Amino acid sequence: MDQYSHLDGIFQALADPTRRAVLRRLGDGPASVGELAKPFDMALPSFMKHIHLLEGSGLIRTQKQGRVRTCAINRTTFAAAEAWLSEQRAVWETRTDRLERFVTQNRDTDK
């Protein structure tokens, strides 16, 4: 389980609708913090907490040039989350396939 400990921060970051909206916007390409904050009705220091959490989870990276901080998605981190989700999908598909076989076999023996 320790190999997945980094996922805790990723899923915590994804749990918030503001952070998901920021990631959705960054899917179109890099943007400044000011651009990202514009649609949200919150003070910049509050918005920066979201940016710091996204950066801390590894979902985004930021770069400062002069007075402008630009954010971009870190696709490698998304790949790690996708790999875990794919593993879970495979496990559950196998389980539901076994359940389907069990139900089908029992139904056939009841006839």
pLDDT computed for residue 18 by the predictor:
97
Model pTM?
0.77
pLDDT computed for residue 59 by the predictor:
95
| Per-position pLDDT tens, the chain of length 111 | 566 778 888 999 999 999 999 999 999 999 999 999 999 999 999 999 999 999 999 999 999 999 999 999 998 888 888 888 888 887 788 878 788 788 888 776 666
Structural domain span for residue 47: 2-110
Nearest to 32 by CA among 55, 65, 75, 6: 65
**Is the torsion defined by CA of 93, 99, 103, 106 positive or negative?**
positive
Residue 64 phi/psi, 5-degree rounding, is: -110, 130
Amino acid at 79: A
Amino acid at 101: R
User: Using alpha carbons only, what angle is made at residue 17 by residues 89 and 57, rounded to the nearest 5 degrees?
Assistant: 70
CA-to-CA dists, residue 49 to 41, 80, 84, angstroms: 14, 23, 26
What domain count does the chain have? 1
- Find the CATH number of the domain harbouring 19: 1.10.10.10
Amino acid at 65: Q
